[in-house]
């Protein structure tokens, strides 16, 4: 059985996890999160390729180049609420993706309730802390198995 190939994208300011508003986003930095997730992925026969960028066009270009991946997990961060470019990039490729937010975007400022991606995503996880990445991974893999991709 070949490995599940998962692309994990993190948007602006998530490079500052652990330092940034730790009351909201927790104390773990992005490398801690990746270490935990990659270990869990290993046990699920999945490989995670990660890109964090503060630049919208870099994320857009990575989405364009995602043909070799089975599933995308993205925390678009602030671009969630602003980026028609990310929305159009996802509409241009036919790749399933799950939107993750560490915080509960519905329990914060009004402008965070609007996502340009949620309605075209294959699911949204919001407010589960960094565990949300794990639940997204688990769901992506379950769906790939159910769809018989690797049987």
Site string for ligand DQA, 4-33 (x = CB under 6 A): ---------x--------------------
Contacting residue, 63, 73, 105, 141, with ligand DQA by CB under 6 A: 105
Q: Which is nearer to ligand DQA, 72 or 77 (CB)?
A: 77
Q: CB neighbours (10 Å) of residue 1?
A: 7
The residue range among 1-9, 57-65, 95-103, 136-144 that interacts with ligand DQA, by the rule CB under 6 A, is 95-103
Q: Which is nearer to ligand DQA, 38 or 112 (CB)?
A: 112
Contacting residue, 102, 117, 125, 136, with ligand DQA by CB under 6 A: 102
Q: CB neighbours (10 Å) of residue 21?
A: 11
Residues known to be catalytic: 25, 101
Query: In angstroms, rounded to a whole number, what is the distance separating the alpha carbons of residues 138 and 82?
Result: 28
112 in contact with ligand DQA (CB under 6 A): yes
If 0-12 CB within 10 Å is exposed, 13-18 middle and 19+ buried, where does residue 119 land? Answer: exposed
The residue range among 31-39, 42-50, 56-64, 101-109 that interacts with ligand DQA, by the rule CB under 6 A, is 101-109
Joined tokens for residue 32? 């801690």
Residues between 67 and 86 that touch ligand DQA (CB under 6 A) = 75, 77-78, 80
Report the SS3 class of residue 119: helix
DSSP states of 8-65 as a string? Answer: EEE-TTGGGTTTS-HHHH-S--HHHHHHHHHHHHHHTTEEEEEEE-S-HHHHHHHHHT
**Residues engaged in binding ligand DQA (CB under 6 A):** 13, 75, 77-78, 80, 101-103, 105, 112
């Amino acid at each position: 059985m070949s490995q599940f190939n998962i692309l994990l994208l993190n948007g602006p300011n998530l490079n500052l996890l652990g330092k940034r508003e730790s009351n909201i986003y927790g104390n773990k930095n992005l490398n801690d999160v990746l270490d935990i997730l990659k270990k869990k992925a290993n046990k699920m026969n999945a490989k995670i390729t990660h890109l964090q960028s503060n630049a919208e066009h870099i994320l857009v270009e990575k989405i364009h180049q995602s043909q070799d991946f089975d599933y995308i997990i993205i925390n678009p961060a602030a671009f969630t609420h602003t980026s028609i470019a990310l929305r159009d990039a996802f509409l241009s490729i036919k790749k399933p993706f799950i939107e993750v937010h560490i915080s509960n975007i519905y329990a914060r400022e009004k402008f965070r309730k609007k996502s340009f991606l949620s309605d075209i995503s294959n699911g949204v996880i919001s407010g589960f802390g960094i565990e949300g990445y794990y639940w997204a991974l688990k769901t992506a893999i379950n769906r790939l198995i159910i769809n018989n991709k690797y049987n």
